[in-house]
Amino acid sequence: MQMTRAIALIDVNNFYVSCERVFNPRLEGKPVVVLSNNDGCAVARSNEAKALGVKMGQPWFQLKDWAQRRGIAAYSSNYALYADMSNRVMNILAAFSPRQEVYSIDECFLDLTGFKAQDLTLHGQRIRRRVRQWTGLPVCIGIGPTKTLAKLANHIAKQYPESGGVCNLNDASPQQRYEWFSRIAAGEVWGIGRRLVPQLRGIGIKTVLDLQRACPVAMRARFSVVMEKVIRELNGVACIELEEIAPPRKQIVSSRSFGVPVSDLASLEEAVSLYTRRAAEKLRRQQLFAGSVYVAIRTSPFNTREQYYANGMIIPLPAPSADTIRLTKAALWGLRRIYRSGYRYQKARVMLTGLVGMNDRQCDLFGLAEGNKSGKLMEVMDRINAWMGNGTLKLASEGFRQPWKMKQANRSPSYTTNWDELICVAD
DNA sequence: ATCACGGTTTGCA
DNA sequence: CTAACGTGCAAACCGTGAT
């Protein structure tokens, strides 16, 4: 007889906020938010901040004065810290199953098939305790026969404190599931975003239960194949497999807003150079080569008093490359073509596309692939930067003062990845 | 009329 | 003093030219 699959979704509660709290316990029990890049929007909120009404993605400038009056602590995002804490959590969780999919910076799926359903809830508690003890981070765990149901179970574990942080749908009674599914809004389901919610409501689908009972074939015709999979998964039929090895990326993006509006070409060149280097580093880490470079700039879409300008272009390369120097030359060439003076630019973006693996590369017209010399040079660059800190070795076109750099008014120290910042705290 | 292609837009997290 | 709103990725969509 076929055993019911047991997929667990483990998710750190309010991840960025919880990371800040590990190193600053005074934040415990207080309203805290963490802001997106450039201190733009609130992207992580403690439960206390949620209770005060801070919305996900709310622009910080609208919130700032009010938030400070209410005593809400606000942090700029510190990705070095969060990435390191994430690695620690993922390593701990990996010990609980041979099959793990790291789904995002704060979430992973584990295949726990084989445990008795009743034992799994206890097992979940053990997992929670270990992560808490070894990292200081609180996690919730959802368990179900499909990834979509595991996600939903995780939501239930978060919503209902009486669950003790673990919700195991495989061991819940049909009545209990009915009660939950009829109470939870359809929009909470993985893959049902804010655009679909009103459309679903229009055809009478408001709750998870409504969606579960919808006809997958008809819904596929009306919406998309994604919708069909969501419905089948809600009914315990696995349509989305565990991806233990991440499939190779099809594009790599580096895109950032500026701290202040930028009008001159020279500053844009610096920013594009930096973004290209970051994208190229990601490219080499994944052992890939890019067939073309896309570069784009735009003014603020929110500023209605000024003329909006956005433009971008694709620069095909003669042969796939992973060389920061070549990629930067291409990006800057494109930038000079799309640049128009007289605008106040707010964002630049570099995207590497046409990605191929080392052995799938096509040569250029003259039968030349990118030489080994460039590979060696990049290897040396990457090693020096890994050893002495990212950005130690870079192209001069990135500039040095970089007055356009993004705002980070209140970033915490990189406690776990930078000795200098740690010593600074001890003082 | 249909298809493959590529570039652009939409949607999600 | 004023102005200030993220990023990464892939699926869906759409227009085009070829057949």
pLDDT digits (tens, 9 = 90+) for A374-399: 888 889 888 888 888 778 888 888 88
pLDDT digits (tens, 9 = 90+) for A254-308: 999 999 999 999 999 999 999 999 999 999 998 899 989 999 999 998 888 888 8
pLDDT score of A427: 46
pLDDT score of A220: 83
pLDDT score of A426: 47
Strand C, nucleotides covered by protein (CB < 7 Å): 3-13
**Which nucleotide's C1' atom has the smallest distance to the CA of A103?**
B13
pLDDT digits (tens, 9 = 90+) for A120-139: 999 999 999 999 999 999 99
pLDDT digits (tens, 9 = 90+) for A207-261: 999 999 999 888 888 888 888 889 999 999 998 889 888 888 889 999 999 999 9
Near strand C (CB < 7 A), which residues? Answer: A 36-38, 40-41, 43, 57, 59-61, 64, 224-226, 247, 249-257, 282, 300, 302-303, 346-347, 349, 406
Interatomic CA–C1' length for residue A349 and nucleotide C9, angstroms? 14
pLDDT score of A1: 64
pLDDT digits (tens, 9 = 90+) for A399-414: 887 888 888 888 888 8
Near strand B (CB < 7 A), which residues? Answer: A 104, 190-196, 312, 314
Strand B, nucleotides covered by protein (CB < 7 Å): 7-8, 10-13
Span A105-130, mean pLDDT? 93
Interatomic CA–C1' length for residue A221 and nucleotide B1, angstroms? 22
pLDDT score of A189: 94
Residue A141: is its pLDDT beyond 70?
Answer: yes
* Three-state DSSP string of chain A: CCCCCCEEEEEECCHHHHHHHHHCHHHCCCCEEEECHHHCEEEEECHHHHHCCCCCCCEHHHHHHHHHHCCCEEEECCHHHHHHHHHHHHHHHHCCCCCEEEEECCEEEEECECECHHHHHHHHHHHHHHHHHHHCCCEEEEEECCHHHHHHHHHHHHHCHHHCCEEEHHHCCHHHHHHHHHHCEHHHCCCCCCCHHHHHHHCCCCEHHHHHHCCHHHHHHHCCHHHHHHHHHHCCCCCCCCCCCCCCCCEEEEEEEEEEEECCHHHHHHHHHHHHHHHHHHHHHCCEEEEEEEEEEEECCCCCCCCCCEEEEEEEEEEEECCHHHHHHHHHHHHHHHCCCCCCEEEEEEEEECCEEHHHCCCCCCCCCCCHHHHHHHHHHHHHHHHHCCCCCCCHHHCCCCCCCCCCCCECCCCCCCHHHHHHHHC
pLDDT digits (tens, 9 = 90+) for A34-64: 999 989 999 999 999 999 999 999 999 999 9
pLDDT digits (tens, 9 = 90+) for A148-202: 999 999 999 999 999 999 999 999 999 999 999 999 999 999 999 888 898 899 8
pLDDT score of A205: 93
Interatomic CA–C1' length for residue A244 and nucleotide C3, angstroms? 46
**Which nucleotide's C1' atom has the smallest distance to the CA of A39?**
C6
pLDDT score of A389: 78
pLDDT digits (tens, 9 = 90+) for A321-347: 999 999 999 999 999 999 999 999 999
Interatomic CA–C1' length for residue A82 and nucleotide C7, angstroms? 16
Closest alpha carbon to C1' of C8, residue: A253
pTM value is 0.91
Interatomic CA–C1' length for residue A175 and nucleotide C7, angstroms? 41
Interatomic CA–C1' length for residue A299 and nucleotide C1, angstroms? 23
